[in-house]
Chain A
Amino acid sequence: MASAAPRFTLERIDGDPLSLDALTAGGPVVLVFAHADCPTSALALRRLAGLGQGPAGVALACVAEETPEAASRLARRTGIRFPVLAEPAPFEVSRAYEIATVPTAVRIEPGVGVTGTAAGWDADAYERLLGASLPSEEPRRKPGCGARWTYEAAAGLDELEDMIERGWSDGLPVVPPTPERVETMLGSRDGAHSLGPVPPAHGVATLERLAACAVLAGCLPRYFPVVIAAAEAALDPGFNAHGIGVTTQPAGPILVVNGPVRDAIGLNSGMGALGPGARANMTIGRALRLLLTLTGGARPGGLDRSTLGHPGKLGMCVAENEEASPWEPLHVERGFARETSTVTVFAGDAPLSVSDHRSRTPEELAATLAWAAAGQWSPFWWPMDDTSLFVLCPEHAMLFGAAGWAKEQVRAAIFAAVQRPAGELRRGETTPLVQVSADDTPVRKWTQPELIEIVVAGGEAGRFSAVFGPCNGMQAEVVTREIQWST
């Protein structure tokens, strides 16, 4: 059953007007509605490009929801040679045909009307509408994108979809960075101030772009000083954001925040400290990830070549539970005053949870933690020459503290607890050291105890600690930056 085909005249990209009446003068026409920000539209047009001016007996034309200039670029990019009609806002033709998705193919018979449509990319349906065969390439089907006129029809809702369409996301919905929101995030700071290029694509991290990332991530303006310090730390060349951004390892930055700023902005260092749940923790880590992905170009599957990735790559921001720690907090250990607030960036992979509800001596507990970490990177890769970050829960930290152990002793005990003869390690992925060592040569898991970093976080009950494995081979330094912050 045919429906009416609204008449229209649009401008071709060569500047001449073209009407539906002219298109159907010699027989049926298939219109393909598309726009330039839609990957499925590009896919469809590339496949249709092989038909040249169109199949025999059927006219073929693209209606691009674009200005003539943008429509021309779309035509060049996809290599199509059939007519392209530019349909800039307010998209009256798309609206008249009620095109919800692009691409959508619409077949119109002269004197009859619309006799068939296909939404998204569906090679079989397109072949039926065109009466012609298309290249047998995969994919044969792919969902389309929202047509531009629908954004305006439901502004508010589709603003969020617009962000995804632009690629300004990590896969989850984001807060649109309107000028007002970005200005509020920046406060009195100079948006043009540069923190330097962001590897791997070397887009420049102006404070304005960083503020846009913070807005996208869902940060409140009072989190922004922490985001700035985190970006400064991650962009320190010693951190090697380039290697971490492009590696096949599922690795990313891990932020540890210390000092009074934690309570002032609502960072959670207690129960569920590694997330989810606390907006400040989740969004500060996410803002840095978005900076690396969007400004730096480390898009998963693009320049970010991570084989698996892991959910913590969305953002990982840990606040140290300094109040539950028997030791100096991380920033004091690294030379800052206790009343200073800092952010420290580590390179690491997914955290491994370590349960130990039975140990009653510090030696036993150190051994549990050490052997849990012994499988990091790869079970037979001994020794590792990069940093492992242990996050001790308060009950574990207190066991060490009650025994009078300094953090240095815990580090030394973890280092000393795991040792295996080279002969047992000589299989699978192992190190050059193991390959050349005699069978009975003892080998440790780390090259030096200083590669074992320890912070305290988590709720008061439960004996679950965690350890983040290193970003092996990256020579990623641990970098701390002071947070320029005031109450």
Chain B
Amino acid sequence: MEYVSPIDDSAAEPVPFALRPRELGGRRVVLLDITKNRGSELLDRVEQHLRLYGAETFRLSKEIFSKPASSEVIERVAIHGDLAVEGLAD
């Protein structure tokens, strides 16, 4: 039986993960605070650990946690980081 699909197949394709680096030494890591309550505390701890491994860190924030990051924020993540860590929830 033939049906009309409600699904846009081009959007359903999973996006593969980017390759993960084996070492953190000398890497620039962006810590993105989505502005959820206490997310910055989590990122503070993550930042301490990253520095212990020799990473250089850079903090950024989204405008609001409940909306996608603006293209400006995404661009700044790309400019300032080899890697990014997002502090997701409270």
Is A421 positioned at the interface, with any CB of B under 8 Å from its CB?
A: no
Cβ–Cβ contact B12 & A177, under 8 A: no
Is A37 positioned at the interface, with any CB of B under 8 Å from its CB?
A: no
How far, in angstroms, from A247 to B5 measured CA to CA in the complex? 26
How far, in angstroms, from A199 to B10 measured CA to CA in the complex? 14
Is B72 positioned at the interface, with any CB of A under 8 Å from its CB?
A: no
Interface residues of B in 5-29 (CB under 8 A from A): 5-8, 10-12
* Contact count A vs B, C-beta below 8 Å: 73
Is A103 positioned at the interface, with any CB of B under 8 Å from its CB?
A: no
Is B79 positioned at the interface, with any CB of A under 8 Å from its CB?
A: no
Cβ–Cβ contact A208 & B12, under 8 A: no
**Per-residue A-contact encoding for B59-71, CB less than 8 Å = 1, 0 else:** 0000011111000
Cβ–Cβ contact A203 & B4, under 8 A: no
Identity of the chain A residue whose Cβ is nearest the Cβ of B65 in the assembled complex: A473
Cβ–Cβ contact B6 & A168, under 8 A: yes
**Per-residue B-contact encoding for A146-180, CB less than 8 Å = 1, 0 else:** 00000000010001001000001000000011110
Cβ–Cβ contact A475 & B4, under 8 A: no
Residue in B5, B8, B64, B65 with the greatest tally of chain A CB atoms within 10 Å: B8
Cβ–Cβ contact A290 & B3, under 8 A: no
Cβ–Cβ contact B11 & A178, under 8 A: no
How many chain B residues touch A (CB < 8 A): the figure is 17
Q: Is chain B's binding surface mostly helix, strand, loop or mixed?
A: loop
Interface size bracket, A side? 35 or more
Chain B residues, CB < 8 A from A243: 66-67
How far, in angstroms, from A211 to B89 measured CA to CA in the complex? 36
Cβ–Cβ contact A294 & B6, under 8 A: yes
Is B2 positioned at the interface, with any CB of A under 8 Å from its CB?
A: yes
Cβ–Cβ contact B1 & A201, under 8 A: no
How far, in angstroms, from A294 to B5 measured CA to CA in the complex? 9
Identity of the chain B residue whose Cβ is nearest the Cβ of A176 in the assembled complex: B3
Cβ–Cβ contact A473 & B66, under 8 A: yes
Chain B residues, CB < 8 A from A216: 6
Q: Do A240 and B4 form a contact, CB below 8 Å, given A201-B12, A204-B11, A297-B11?
A: no
Cβ–Cβ contact B11 & A203, under 8 A: yes
Contact of B1 among A176, A182, A197, A290 (CB under 8 A): A176
Chain A residues, CB < 8 A from B64: 473, 475
Residue in B11, B12, B66 with the greatest tally of chain A CB atoms within 10 Å: B66
Chain B residues, CB < 8 A from A291: 6
Closest 5 CB pairs of A and B: A203-B8, A243-B66, A203-B11, A212-B6, A294-B6
Chain B residues close to A by CB (< 8 Å): 1-8, 10-12, 64-68, 89
26 A-B residue pairs with Cβ-Cβ distance under 8 Å, sorted by A, are A162-B1, A177-B3, A177-B5, A178-B2, A178-B4, A179-B4, A197-B11, A201-B11, A201-B12, A202-B11, A203-B7, A203-B10, A208-B4, A212-B4, A212-B5, A240-B67, A242-B66, A242-B68, A247-B66, A248-B89, A290-B6, A294-B6, A295-B7, A297-B12, A473-B65, A474-B66
Extra contacts besides A212-B4, A212-B5 (9): CB < 8 Å: A168-B5, A178-B2, A201-B11, A203-B8, A215-B4, A240-B66, A242-B66, A473-B64, A474-B66
